[in-house]
């Protein structure tokens, strides 16, 4: 009886112990789960803190992406020595120093920092005589003071008068013999828009003011009102439409010239477009895109408006393109990597941007890659300063940039499979670069190729400034017309051509120009007197 009780108590005790062990295991599992959950929350916290810092930097911080490393061999240092502080008081010893110098010339020289005025500016001379009687005095010289003055632009009327002549008939005879009358009158000069009150100069001024100086039409209308001339907005819109119809063949020729190049940089930028009235779309906007193509060797630019950012936009335009195509990492360009006649070149600046953003998350490793990239840019800067041609540039890159690229490849291979959180910015930077490594190195093939897409991004900036002023395009057709002027004026800027003088010349001559020689009117080909 006692043994049964003992066995019963023993089994109950074992059951209690097993239950406690299970409870301990459950608690251990819960602790482990909580620990894992805490680790996940800690990672999310770090990622959210990093995102918050990035947002604050985008809103309040500087937009530059400058990186300076103390260990960078390409960063020059100033040879200053820091002297150790000493508690001993030093006694100043005075000595007499004598030296010789050239005596300044009596002739007054122009201030070295004064701006020299261009010779083509008109000069108005104002002679101011002394207030005293100068009779019998001899003028021994002149004191000349020059000021750069400004007269606000103003409207003027250009009146074309064409006398009419009758051959050998009096006015009475001419009236009696209207069927046989012969009248001689000079032919009216070619005008860009028939029956339009605006001349070529005014039309050019309006277009340049909007697409170069970023003045929307409504602001220009207010400026004209100050001159006592009121021009309706619909009138200016009509002028712009007529000009675009006139310049459409020239725009097609520019497009042909750009797409015929063997090296293009491509990028895209959004533009809000007002929706068509109706279908409850009034006051709503659609986001269209300017697809921009730039040829660095020829310095020509093409804006192509499309209503979408889909890959069909560049596919349609570049269907016959052959050569090097340089882009960022947007997936819409991946289709061109499958073509045999296109070599993709990616943008090193975009890859660098990811590592620059990862500095605050992992400064040690991110700075290692950024330092190597500084070496690549130092090579490019040396080639530019030395004014190398394409072949010299290619050879120098092989000597100096190739070892740096090899070191970067080793670095990526070493860090690519390191354990990192999925949200780690450095992990994203490494993944971005490793996925596009071959395309990032393809600029080594030809000295004409650039290492990044910064040139085309700079060409897009004027459009972005204008977009902030006029906010949106009035229609898809309006966005297409704007693309035409951005293409022309952007090319003018790269060739240091006055856009107003170029457009005025084209408007005065395009109607009489031979169609097969339209390319002579393009900004990169034209010669203005």
The whole-number pLDDT of residue 61 equals 60
The whole-number pLDDT of residue 83 equals 47
Whole-angstrom Cα distance, residue 274 to residue 476? 8
Give 288's pLDDT tier (boundaries 50, 70, 90): very high
Calculate what percentage of the chain has a pLDDT beyond 90. 45
The residue with greater pLDDT, 348 or 281, is 348
Is residue 107 predicted with pLDDT exceeding 60? no
Q: List, in order, residues 6 or more apart from 375 with CB less than 8 Å away.
A: 73, 74, 401, 404
The whole-number pLDDT of residue 176 equals 55
DSSP string for residues in 98-119: ----PPPPSSPPPPTTPPPPPT
Give 29's pLDDT tier (boundaries 50, 70, 90): confident
User: H-type helices in 260-290, by residue range?
Assistant: none
Mean pLDDT of 476-502: 94
Give 3's pLDDT tier (boundaries 50, 70, 90): low
DSSP string for residues in 291-320: EEEEETTTTEEEEEEES--STHHHHHHTTT
Closest C-alpha to 327, from 436, 462, 484: 436
Calculate what percentage of the chain has a pLDDT beyond 70. 80
The residue with greater pLDDT, 213 or 7, is 213
pLDDT tens-place string over residues 304-318: 999 988 889 999 999
| From 298-302, 329-333, 374-378, the region with the lowest mean pLDDT | 329-333
Give 135's pLDDT tier (boundaries 50, 70, 90): confident
The whole-number pLDDT of residue 82 equals 44
Mean pLDDT of 315-337: 92
- The rounded mean pLDDT for the chain is 83
> What length is written for the chain?
529
The residue with greater pLDDT, 509 or 45, is 509
Whole-angstrom Cα distance, residue 131 to residue 139? 15
Q: Are 26 and 18 in contact (CB under 8 A)?
A: no
Tell me the pTM. Answer: 0.76
Is residue 483 predicted with pLDDT exceeding 90? yes
Is residue 84 predicted with pLDDT exceeding 50? no
Is residue 139 predicted with pLDDT exceeding 50? yes
The whole-number pLDDT of residue 106 equals 56
Q: Cα 309 to chain center, whole Å?
A: 19
Mean pLDDT of 450-463: 92
The residue with greater pLDDT, 496 or 191, is 496
Helices 200-211 + 476-494 axis angle, to 10: 90
Q: Cα 388 to chain center, whole Å?
A: 25
Whole-angstrom Cα distance, residue 315 to residue 333? 9
The whole-number pLDDT of residue 238 equals 92
The residue with greater pLDDT, 508 or 4, is 508
The whole-number pLDDT of residue 2 equals 59
| From 188-192, 270-274, 375-379, 476-480, the region with the lowest mean pLDDT | 188-192
Coil, strand or helix: which one is 286? Answer: strand
Is residue 178 predicted with pLDDT exceeding 60? no
The whole-number pLDDT of residue 357 equals 87
The whole-number pLDDT of residue 172 equals 57
The whole-number pLDDT of residue 92 equals 61
Q: List, in order, residues 6 or more apart from 139 with CB less than 8 Å away.
A: none
The whole-number pLDDT of residue 481 equals 93
The whole-number pLDDT of residue 165 equals 86
Whole-angstrom Cα distance, residue 302 to residue 292? 6
Q: Which of 80-89, 252-261, 355-364, 410-419 has the highest mean pLDDT?
A: 252-261
Whole-angstrom Cα distance, residue 492 to residue 424? 44
DSSP string for residues in 11-56: HHHHHHHHHHHHHHHHHHHHHHHHHHHHHHHHHHHHHHHHHHHHHH
Is residue 88 predicted with pLDDT exceeding 50? no
The whole-number pLDDT of residue 211 equals 94
The whole-number pLDDT of residue 162 equals 87
Is residue 76 predicted with pLDDT exceeding 60? no
The whole-number pLDDT of residue 501 equals 94
Give 85's pLDDT tier (boundaries 50, 70, 90): very low
Is residue 81 predicted with pLDDT exceeding 70? no
Is residue 520 predicted with pLDDT exceeding 90? yes
Give 67's pLDDT tier (boundaries 50, 70, 90): low
């Amino acid at each position: 009886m006692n043994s049964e009780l003992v066995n019963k108590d023993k089994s109950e005790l074992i059951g209690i112990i097993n239950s406690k062990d299970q409870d301990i295991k459950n608690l251990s599992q819960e602790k482990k789960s909580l620990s894992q959950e805490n680790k996940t929350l800690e990672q999310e916290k770090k990622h959210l803190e990093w995102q918050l810092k990035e947002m604050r930097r985008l809103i309040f911080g500087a937009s530059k992406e400058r990186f300076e490393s103390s260990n960078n061999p390409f960063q020059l240092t100033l040879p200053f020595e820091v002297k150790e502080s000493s508690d001993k008081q030093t006694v100043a010893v005075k000595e007499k120093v004598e030296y010789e110098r050239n005596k300044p010339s009596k002739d007054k020289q122009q201030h070295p920092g004064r701006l020299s005025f261009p010779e083509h500016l008109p000069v108005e001379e104002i002679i101011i005589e002394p207030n005293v009687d100068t009779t019998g005095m001899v003028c021994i010289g002149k004191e000349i003071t020059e000021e750069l003055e400004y007269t606000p632009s103003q409207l003027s009327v250009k009146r074309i008068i064409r006398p009419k002549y009758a051959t050998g008939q009096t006015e009475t005879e001419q009236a009696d013999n209207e069927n046989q009358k012969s009248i001689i009158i000079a032919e009216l000069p070619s005008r860009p828009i028939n029956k339009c009150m605006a001349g070529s100069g005014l039309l050019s001024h309006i277009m340049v003011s909007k697409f170069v100086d970023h003045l929307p039409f409504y602001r220009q209308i207010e400026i004209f009102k100050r001159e006592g001339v009121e021009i309706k907005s619909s009138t200016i819109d009509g002028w712009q439409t007529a000009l675009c119809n006139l310049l459409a063949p020239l725009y097609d020729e520019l497009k042909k010239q750009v797409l015929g190049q063997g090296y293009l940089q491509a990028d895209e930028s959004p533009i809000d477009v007002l929706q068509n009235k109706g279908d409850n779309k009034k006051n709503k906007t659609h986001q269209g895109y300017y697809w921009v193509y730039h040829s660095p060797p020829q310095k020509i630019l093409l804006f192509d408006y499309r209503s979408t950012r889909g890959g069909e936009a560049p596919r349609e335009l570049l269907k016959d393109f052959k050569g090097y195509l340089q882009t960022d990492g947007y997936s819409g360009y991946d289709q061109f990597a499958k073509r045999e006649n296109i070599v993709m070149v990616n943008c090193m600046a975009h890859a660098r941007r990811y590592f620059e953003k990862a500095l605050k998350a992992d400064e040690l490793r991110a700075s290692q890659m950024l330092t190597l990239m500084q070496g690549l840019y130092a090579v490019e800067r040396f080639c530019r300063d030395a004014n190398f041609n394409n072949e010299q540039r290619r050879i120098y890159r092989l000597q100096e940039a190739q070892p740096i690229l090899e070191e970067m490849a080793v670095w990526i291979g070493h860090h690519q499979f390191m354990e990192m959180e999925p949200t780690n910015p450095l992990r994203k930077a490494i993944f971005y670069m490793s996925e596009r490594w071959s395309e990032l190195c393809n600029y080594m093939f030809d000295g004409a190729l650039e290492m990044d897409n910064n040139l085309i991004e700079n060409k897009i900036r004027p459009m972005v400034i204008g977009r902030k002023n006029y906010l949106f395009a009035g229609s898809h057709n309006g966005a297409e017309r704007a693309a035409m002027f951005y293409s022309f004026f952007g090319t003018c800027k790269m060739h240091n051509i006055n856009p107003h003088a170029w457009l005025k010349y084209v408007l005065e001559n395009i109607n009489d120009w031979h169609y097969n020689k339209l390319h002579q009117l393009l900004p990169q080909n034209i010669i203005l007197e």
